[in-house]
Every structure is written in structure tokens, then in C-alpha cells.
Amino acid sequence: MKRIELILEDGSSYQGFSFGAKRSTSGEVVFNTGMVGYCETLTDPSYRGQILVFTYPLVGNYGVPKEEMEFGVLKNFESSRIHVSALVVSDYSFSPSHWNAAKSLSDWLKEQNVPGMYGVDTRALTKKLREKGTMLGKVIFEEEVDFFDPNVEKMVELVSTGEPIIYNTGRNTKIIVIDCGLKFNILRSLLKRGCTVIRVPFDYDFFDLSFDAVVVSNGPGNPKMCPEVIERLKKCFEEGIPTFGICLGNQLMALAAGAKTYKLKYGHRSQNQPCLELGTKRCFITSQNHGYAVEARTLPSDWEPWFVNANDGTNEGIRHIRKPFWAVQFHPEHSPGPRDTEFLFDLFLGEIRK
């Protein structure tokens, strides 16, 4: 097997073996502690520009499923392509076994021109990222490459739809979804609840369209790099349009309200993050993928924190105290992960259908 190397910006290096595409690449090195769902994770647009390290040791054992459609989008994936810059694992399974497997993970990575490396001490690598924080890195196969920092680029431009797309035409409840790097299960969650969904580019002026509410999707990068979305959300607030934000959408709504965001030391990327709903005794296990958070103490007086992370106390959701504006930092659409908070779509739609 061909040797491959991961070099971090502090000069440390990790040796491994190549699978997937045979090429070099670079990005921000992050880790995910989820145990399942690598197909959904790799196709999550929020990972654009990042080198992903899985802490679960065995990856590839169930292969990659067939491409099937549901509600007009791919059923078993969160977008139409892999978005990670590279994949780093401890043990890669060369013999996948699953009734729905159409190809191996390595073959899929080759098709998408994404390099992978296995045989890495991912425990040691994850400990370093937890202690030092996320770092830039580069995966060197043969040719040398420069470090790439996705936090100083407008990454949403690379993952947003290029033009409006309408799903489920003719249903009574019409939802604008601002695509900042949309996961398909957000679409599915709205469509299976009988909505017409109008998916628009992140910089699209949608106010001339007919709609009942707005959803702001997840996406990659620094929320402050999305001034177009922030300005449109301010207008939504001014006009009292029901608005629901997810992940990056939570941060963008906070910025539009006048609050601040900041970069987390190593982020939350997993399917096992416990979140407390403030004012109740309820704790939900959530799926998460974010490197930035809302600074809750900077929220204006007419907004309040809604959820907090039980592990580190960081903000996991905000809401307006009177108007129909809500947002969560975690992923109520899950995929992969627990379904504990999918009811939030029902709460949102219940409010706008009154």
C-alpha cells in the first residue's frame, strides 16, 4: 500500500496508508465522534474545506448504498457529492458487507476525487486537536500543497444552489429555504409534513415570492462571511416573517439580531451531544456539526437562549420572546443521529399554520 502523510500546521505529522483518490489536499482538520452514518456525514456540505478524522476505529464496513430518490432528492445522502477535503481513519474495511451496498467507500472516494488515509493513530490525533484546538493540515500523497483555511473564505458560495428549486408544488404551506449548504434531510423533514419548499441561493432576494415562512439552513465556514444572508434575515425580523434557523442558521439569525458569534476551540461534531432546554428539565441527545457558536450574553433583550450544551454550556439555540423567530445550533433533521428533536419541525409548522 502507498504511504500517505498528514501534516498539521504546528509541524507534527501522522503517517498512514492511502485509499480513495491518490492525490494531495489541504484544509482544516476536525474530528467527529459519531459511530455510524459516514455516508451522510461525508456528504454534509458543512464539512466543505475540512479534513475529517473519525474517532470510531472501523470505517467502510457497510460500503456505500445505492442512489435512490425520495421527495426529489437522494435518499441516503445529505447532498449530491462528498464535501470533505480528505478522510482520516484508524482502520479501513476493504470487504464491505451490507444488503444495500452498491460500492466500497474507497471506490466512492475515488469517483469523487477525495483522498483517504488509514492506519493513523486517530486517538492521539484527536487528543491533540482537543488540547490544542482545530488546526490547518495537509494530506500529502506525492505532490506538495499549501495550507488552506476555510474560515477566511466565503464557503457558502461553493455549496449553495445556483438557482431556485421548487419541491412539492401546490401544497398550502410554502417555505423559503435559504440554502447555505443545505442538508437534504431538512428538505425531507419539511416535504413529508406537506410543505411546498422553495430552495433559494444564499444571496437570492426572495421577498417578491409568495411564502409563509423562512428556514435558514446549515452550512460551512465563518457566519460573518455571509453578510447577504444576515441582511435578508434583518428584513424578515422587521416584517415579522416566521423564521427558523438550523446550525449556521442559528449563528446567522443571532448576528442579524445584533448578537456576536465566536469560534469554538475544536467544535461539536458528533451524534451524541446532550442539550438542555432552558426552563424545563428536559435533555435531548442531538446530532451536531459546527465550529462556531453564539455568544449568548450578547443577545438583545428581546431574545433569549433556548437550549444549552450540557457538556460545555455553549449556546445551542435562541428564540425571540414575542415574535415567531427560533433557531437551534444542533440538527433536528438528524441524518445521521438521534431523532429526539425532530419534533421542532412540528412546533415550527404548527405556529405558522395557526
Active-site amino acid positions: 247, 331, 333
Integer Cα distance of 234 and 228 in angstroms: 10
Longest dimension (CA), the chain: 61
**Residue 112 near residue 83, CB atoms below 8 Å:** no
69: CB partners within 8 A, 6+ apart: 75
Backbone angles phi, psi at 267, to 5 degrees: 75, 180
Cα–Cα distances (Å) from 166 to 72, 177, 277, 316, 322, in that order, read: 10, 10, 33, 30, 31
**Residue 155 near residue 219, CB atoms below 8 Å:** yes
Q: What share of the chain is helix, strand, coil (3-state, %, to 5)?
A: 25, 35, 40
- Give me the amino acid identity at 335: S
- Give me the amino acid identity at 269: R
Exposed/middle/buried for residue 47 (C-beta within 10 Å: 0-12, 13-18, 19+): buried
Kind of pairing between the strands at 73-74 and 69-70: antiparallel
Q: Which three cell numbers stand for residue 140?
A: 500529502
Kind of pairing between the strands at 243-246 and 213-216: parallel
